[in-house]
Each structure stands twice: as C-alpha cells, then as structure tokens.
Amino acid sequence: MAKAKSKGSILLEILIVLLLVALIATIMYPKSVWNKATEDTISCREKMDKILKAELIYLKYHSNYSDSLDGVISFIANDTTGKVKLDYIYSDTTLAIDILKNLRKNYKEADNKIVEFLADTMVQAILMTTFYDSNLANVVLDRLEGTPLKDSVLVARDSDSSDVFVLSQIANMFKPVDIVSPLEIDDSLKLVLNRIGPEIATASLIDTLYKNPLWAKDVDNALTENLDDLRHCPTNGEPYELTVVDTSVIKILNITCPIDSLDIEDTKKDFVLYHLGHLRLENHGAIEAGEKSWLKRE
C-alpha cells in the first residue's frame, strides 16, 4: 500500500506549480503587451497615412488642406456625387479590396457582373493581341474546339477565313465568359493571358458596381466606417494633431500622433504595465510635408 504524502511534500508541489505559473506569466505577459504595442504603432501610422490621402483629396477640391479632421471626413462621407468617395477608395487599395470582396461575397449578381466585366476585358485584349500575333488566334480556337463552342468554331473555320477573323466572329457570337473560362484553366495559356491581360484597378471594379443603389449603400457604409476609424490614435484614444502651413508659395500639412509626455508618464505610474509588462510608450511619429518620420529612422 502506497504511503500517504506528507503535508510538506504537497505544499512543495503546490509551490513549484505556482512558481512555474508565475514564470510562464512573466514571459507571456510582457510578450502580449509588446505585441499590442506593436499592433497599435502599425495601426497608428497606417491611420496617419490614410489621413494624408484623405487630405490630398480635400486639397484636390478645395485647393487647400484642412486642420479639421472632422471636416475632411465629413466632406468625403457626405459626398452626394460619388466622385469624392470613389477618389478616396482609389487611394486606399486595402479598403478597395475589402469592399470588393464583400460585395462579391454578399451579392451573387455583383460577382457575376465583375466576372463578366473581367471576361469581356480579357476577350478584347486577346483580339487586340491577335492583330500582331495571329498564332494566338490559332491556339485559342484550337482550345475552344474542346468546349461546347466546338461546332460553331468548326463551322467558322471551314469558311477559309483567317483565324483572326474567325476568332472575332466567335467573340461576337458568345458571351465573353463562355470564351474566357476554358482558356483560364488551360495551363499552356495561363502565362499568355497573364501577360496580355490589362491591369485593372480594384477601385475601378467598385466604380462599376457603384451604379447599383443597393451595392452603393454597402460601399458608403464601409467607407464611412473606415473614415470614422481615423479619428483617434489606437493607443490613447486621442485625436490626431493636424497643422496646416499655407503661404503664397507652398501649402504644407503636418499630421502628428497625439501621444505626449503626459501619456508616457501615466504609463510609468501603471505598475503592471510598466514594471511587469515592460511597456515603454513612445510617440508613433508624424507625417510632415508628406515625409514619414518613422521611415527616416528605419
């Protein structure tokens, strides 16, 4: 029969467990604090960059910057023409990609419209390329003979017309999607299509969808949410400091992170964050006359 453990050995085991927990905490807690500080720094700098882009749009329509971020946000968010809003979306690639992704996910019709738009653009690119590369027309027609378009392609080719002319006929007879879809899954054509396909800005696709009132409402909501997020620094929740220097020669805008010496001193008074989390708060920098201070340091 096993001997019962003494109270001393039980207490020792409990103490060891507590010490292990404390050791893990001293490693993991500072790491979580530093990760949060790094995320806030990146977010703050991204916000200042977006504020600059918003200000540049404001400058485009007013011939001057504004020292009121609320005024800039209101100008873009309340735009009734759609031009100003789309200007801002064009300036923010990440926002444009997110908006387009959500529209295509939430609305099947929107996804179909974009697929059709891209297919039509690709067909036009193929036709233009075949004018100086007739071999491409031959390759494309050969590939289409293995699709439901086969009979039409064979009939057209029997007319003794050039492959370039035949391909243009097929393009007029069928939807662009029906032509492009089988080409895109052909490994031998992928590189060619990627090379000749025009680069289409994501924002231009949103421009296409913006004509639909329902989709436009979703775009407006996403844009407003994005703009509202620019109002405050993620670390201290304070608004950014905007300074405009307007002379007869030049217009300068300065955007500064609002973290100051008082915020830094307050952090030092927080025993857990400062001593256990080893947080050393710093100002995240500024954008002065278009130059980002953090890039200078790096």
Which position has the token pair 């075949």? 130
pLDDT in tens, 126-151: 999 998 888 999 999 999 999 999 99
Model-level pTM? 0.80
Using an 8 Å Cβ cutoff, are 285 and 292 in contact? yes
pLDDT of res. 298: 53
pLDDT in tens, 48-81: 999 999 999 999 999 999 999 999 999 999 999 9
Q: Give the whole-angstrom CA distance, residue 83 versus residue 256.
A: 28
Report the 3 state secondary structure along 18-83.
Answer: HHHHHHHHHHHHHHHHHHHHHHHHHHHHHHHHHHHHHHHHHHHHHCCCCCCHHHHHHHHHCCCCCH
pLDDT of res. 1: 45
What does the domain layout of the chain look like in residue ranges?
A: 83-225
Residues of the chain under the 50 pLDDT cut: 1
Q: Considering Cα of 30, then 34, then 36, then 40, what sign does the dihedral take?
A: positive
